[in-house]
Structure 1
Amino acid sequence: MTDLHLWLRHEVRSTERRTPIVPADARRLVGSGVTLTVEESPQRIFPIEEYEAAGCRVAPAGSWTRAPEAAVVIGLKELPDRPDRLAHRHIFFGHAYKQQPGAEELLRRFAAGGGALLDLEYLVDDTGRRLAAFGFWAGYLGAALAVLQHRGRLAAPLTPTSKEELDEGLRPAAGDEEFTALVIGALGRSGRGARVAFLTAGVEATAWDLAETRDLDRPALLGHDVLVNAVLATTPIPPFLREQDLDDPARRLRTLCDVTVDVGSPLNVLPVYDRTTEWTAPVRRLREEPPLDLIAIDNLPSLLPLESSTDFSAALLPELLRFETGGSWGRCLDRFHQTCRELGIDKGEFGDV
């Protein structure tokens, strides 16, 4: 391991309790020669004392802007709006490569400062398979919230919980009516998580994947009570739901959960809403008669921060241990450069990973 300095930043979003590096894996990184600085954070699921005990340095929240130039800043969700110039290499989910709102502005901040985005969504092996993802828990929680909403038991605001407590609330209770559920993208990580949650709730969900969506049976889709979308499109495909489908008099669909939340992207397969829902108001009514409720929360796994962080960190650790060798990180950097070229952004001197 060459001299690598990782800087684990505090998340500015108040509902983000996850971390990409848990203390046990921090200890392994430090033991391998990595310098790991961890910012204090009031909401991170693991207390700062556990990172100190693992041999990490401690820094104030938000101090990554003053980190040594060679440090690699790592987080999960969006950066704050300042500074205008981003000088470091940043590892996080940037949501910047599919024309999402604010994407070009973010990439221009990197170009202005000479930094680079190493987007975790594009950390893949040489076959294109994601190497670290929250998908299973996103699908699990998406289906769980859809079940609770459909049964009239979803309380707001949402608060983080444990899997045991969540599962207890999912189990059928006296008076619960049976309902049908459909998972699209059922064979992927998120789809598998959704199916497991439905089974916990006593529901055998219909499972659709590529074969079932090539020639979409819209009446069959609208004939389910609950729909969970776990498809993140990378090329244009016909949308699964359109505005006219919501007004179809034969629509039985009452609860829709979009796990992938690709709102604002031209590749969005559910272009029937224009903004996410939040922990404070997790459900939005799309139609009144017959009712149709939407759940579209873009950090679902943070509701199970311990389980989701532990799994993600375990998958990410091997990639961090070989950070300087290129490979998957080189592919991340290539994707960053490619998108900047496509947008005509002057990248300046980014250097090598």
Structure 2
Amino acid sequence: MTERPHLWMRHETRATERRAPLVPEDAARLVRDGVAVTVEESPRRAFPLDAYERVGCATAPAGAWARSPADTYVLGLKELPESPHALRHRHIFFGHAYKGQEGAAALLGRFVAGGGALLDLEYLTDPSGRRLAAFGYWAGYLGAALAVLRRRGALDVPLMPLDRARWDAALAATEPEGERALVVGALGRSGRGACDALETAGITPTRWDVEETRDLDRAALLGHDVLVNTVLVTRPVDPLLRPADLDAPDRRLSLVSDVTCDVGSECNVLPVYDTVTDWARPVRRLREGERPLDLIAVDNLPSLVPDEASRAFSADLAPPLSRLGGGDGAWVRCLRAFVRAARSTTTPRRTPRKDTHAC
């Protein structure tokens, strides 16, 4: 009989992270299926620790994962703390390290140094390549919502998490100004979320996807007031915006909301900025003057609606988590993606554990 895995949900160190990759109700199902689940204390998490205790999860102090047994699967969402440097566990989170992003080599080098592995949630897919669990809808929804509220002078800063009903109410309370909004990647999860937010705000968006971007009509793109980028690419392509486009004399575009946030990557389709924005300063001015251009590029948008986003994500992720340790194809694909990426590092690799490839 295959030994059941030990899953350890860590505390998120980012100050603006409220989500949980696994909510108490889904943790209860895993526990009933024989999965050992440990949950770290986390005062910012939208779900209290005692809710996990009541369904049979063990608890631990924040950061205790570093001292857990080597065969533990450490579950999270955003970036790891800087210590320990050498990572010996199998970590499940969004690493953003396979497309040459800033800091990618350093992160992969930590896994290489410790003999661990990154099972990146972005690469947890079915055989056709479709992601099994994603926050995309909520990222797109919030990316478009913030853009509308900014244009209409109704964006409260610093950003604060709300539930969906309150975001909808904020959008509906603003007066439509005849904005032209373009959503690129409109047929994907993020694109659908963006379109829903725009329609709630009284805007009928222009929807572009693969066909419309294959031969890009740059003048048409610049002829919109708002651009919401939700497209995800895995290889370099022609950018949607180039620095010269920001100074085009016929530019109507006044606000760009980049949901994808591939800044620093050669796959970035918006190479017109070099740093993401955040909850304290969600908007950055790219161009001043008579035709200003603003940017929104917050890289944890779904945390602004933490309860609904976490529940939807957890419902999708829990079934694959229940198959950890059994050679499940989705986790094997995750591991292979890591191995390919790790080969680009130069740090000497410790001998991996024999069970690493079982996922």
Fold similarity call, TM over 0.5: yes
C-alpha deviation, 1:200, in angstroms: 0.7
Alignment correspondent of 2:185: 185
Alignment of 1:58-137 (within 5 A): 58-137=59-138
Q: Is the 8 A contact 1:233 1:267 kept in 2?
A: yes
C-alpha deviation, 1:346, in angstroms: 3.8
Q: Is the 8 A contact 1:340 1:347 kept in 2?
A: no
- CA deviation map 1:17-38 (0-9, x unaligned): 0010000000001000011000
**Equivalent residue letter for 2:161:** P
Q: Are residue 342 (structure 1) and residue 344 (structure 2) matched?
A: yes
Quick check: 337-346 or 44-53, which moved more?
Answer: 337-346
Q: Secondary structure at the match of 2:344?
A: helix
TM-aligned CA distance change 1:337 to 1:173, over 3 Å: closer
Alignment correspondent of 2:206: 206
**Equivalent residue letter for 1:128:** G
- CA deviation map 1:272-301 (0-9, x unaligned): 000000100000000012111100000000
Q: Secondary structure at the match of 1:245?
A: helix
C-alpha deviation, 1:2, in angstroms: 2.9
Alignment correspondent of 1:19: 20
C-alpha deviation, 1:343, in angstroms: 3.5
Q: Secondary structure at the match of 1:325?
A: coil
Q: Is the 8 A contact 2:140 2:259 kept in 1?
A: yes
Q: Is the 8 A contact 1:145 1:154 kept in 2?
A: yes
TM-aligned CA distance change 1:9 to 1:315, over 3 Å: same
Alignment correspondent of 1:262: 262
Alignment of 1:1-353 (within 5 A): 2-174=3-175, 176-289=176-289, 290-326=291-327, 327-350=329-352, 351-352=356-357, 353=359
Q: Is the 8 A contact 1:340 1:346 kept in 2?
A: no
C-alpha deviation, 1:5, in angstroms: 0.4
- CA deviation map 1:149-185 (0-9, x unaligned): 01111111000001111100101545x4221100000
C-alpha deviation, 1:111, in angstroms: 1.1
Q: Is the 8 A contact 2:109 2:345 kept in 1?
A: no
Q: Secondary structure at the match of 1:148?
A: helix
Q: Secondary structure at the match of 1:192?
A: helix
Q: Secondary structure at the match of 2:335?
A: helix
- CA-based RMSD of the aligned residues comes to 1.0
Q: Secondary structure at the match of 1:302?
A: helix
Quick check: 342-351 or 14-23, which moved more?
Answer: 342-351
**Equivalent residue letter for 2:213:** T
TM-score for both structures, normalised by structure 2: 0.96
- CA deviation map 1:234-275 (0-9, x unaligned): 111100000110001110001110000000001100000000
- CA deviation map 1:49-100 (0-9, x unaligned): 1000010001001111111111110000000111111110000000111111
C-alpha deviation, 1:345, in angstroms: 4.8
Gaps of 5+ in 1: none
Number of residues of Structure 1 aligned to a counterpart in Structure 2: 352
TM-score for both structures, normalised by structure 1: 0.98
**Equivalent residue letter for 2:11:** H
In 2, the alpha carbon distance for the partners of 1:19 and 1:230 equals: 23
In 1, the alpha carbon distance for the partners of 2:174 and 2:228 equals: 22
Gaps of 5+ in 2: none
Percent of aligned positions that are identical = 61
- CA deviation map 1:214-239 (0-9, x unaligned): 11001100000011000111111100
In 1, the alpha carbon distance for the partners of 2:111 and 2:222 equals: 43
In 2, the alpha carbon distance for the partners of 1:313 and 1:103 equals: 26
Q: Is the 8 A contact 2:108 2:345 kept in 1?
A: no
Q: Secondary structure at the match of 2:349?
A: coil
Q: Secondary structure at the match of 1:323?
A: coil
In 2, the alpha carbon distance for the partners of 1:244 and 1:53 equals: 57
**Equivalent residue letter for 2:341:** T
- CA deviation map 1:308-353 (0-9, x unaligned): 0000000001101111222100111111111112344543333322
In 2, the alpha carbon distance for the partners of 1:237 and 1:203 equals: 29
In 2, the alpha carbon distance for the partners of 1:219 and 1:315 equals: 39
Q: Secondary structure at the match of 1:285?
A: strand
Q: Secondary structure at the match of 1:171?
A: helix
- CA deviation map 1:181-203 (0-9, x unaligned): 00000001100110011111111
**Equivalent residue letter for 1:329:** W
In 2, the alpha carbon distance for the partners of 1:262 and 1:316 equals: 23
Q: Secondary structure at the match of 1:155?
A: coil
